[in-house]
């Protein structure tokens, strides 16, 4: 269930402000805009915006449904795992530093 549009969730956390150059309290505001959420991080001392991002609002996780015990105990006669898939994890490619 998404939160109502216009809803703002405010949290504070200790962090480093690049403008002040010191550890300060950082204010994180999450504005709910339909299916999107805008996150703004500001320094509470100098009031400068450190970060502003827009992303898709996360839905509440559905409760986990447990598989029946009979399926977990059933093993194939051939000794191979049935339905096991291997997935490759895509990693971002790094670029070599340019030489001057």
User: Residue 84 domain-assigned?
Assistant: no
CB proximity list for 83: less than 8 A, separation 6 or greater: none
The confidence score (pLDDT) of residue 62 equals 46
Tell me the percentage of the chain whose pLDDT exceeds 90: 34
Whether 30 is in a domain gets the answer yes
Confidence of residue 14 (pLDDT cuts 50, 70, 90): very high
Asked whether residue 28 is assigned to any structural domain, the reply reads yes
Whether the CB-CB separation of 31 and 38 falls below 8 Å is answered with yes
The SS3 assignment for 17 reads strand
Instruction: Determine the structural domain holding residue 38 and report its residue range.
Output: 8-56
Total number of domains constituting the chain:
1
Domain membership flag for residue 94: no
Strand partners, 40: 29, 52
**Beta strands per DSSP E along 34-95:** 36-43, 49-56
**Has residue 81 been placed in a domain?**
no
**69 belongs to a structural domain:** no
Considering the entire predicted model, what is its pTM?
A: 0.52
């Amino acid at each position: 269930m998404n939160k109502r549009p216009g809803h703002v969730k405010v949290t504070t956390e200790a962090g480093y402000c690049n403008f002040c150059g010191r550890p300060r309290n950082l204010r994180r505001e999450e504005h709910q805009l339909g299916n999107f959420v805008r996150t703004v991080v500001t320094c509470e001392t100098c009031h400068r915006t450190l970060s502003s991002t827009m992303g898709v609002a996360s839905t509440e996780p559905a409760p986990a449904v447990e598989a029946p015990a009979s399926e977990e105990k059933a093993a194939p006669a051939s000794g191979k795992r049935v339905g096991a898939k291997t997935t490759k994890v895509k990693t971002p490619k790094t670029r070599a530093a340019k030489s001057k």
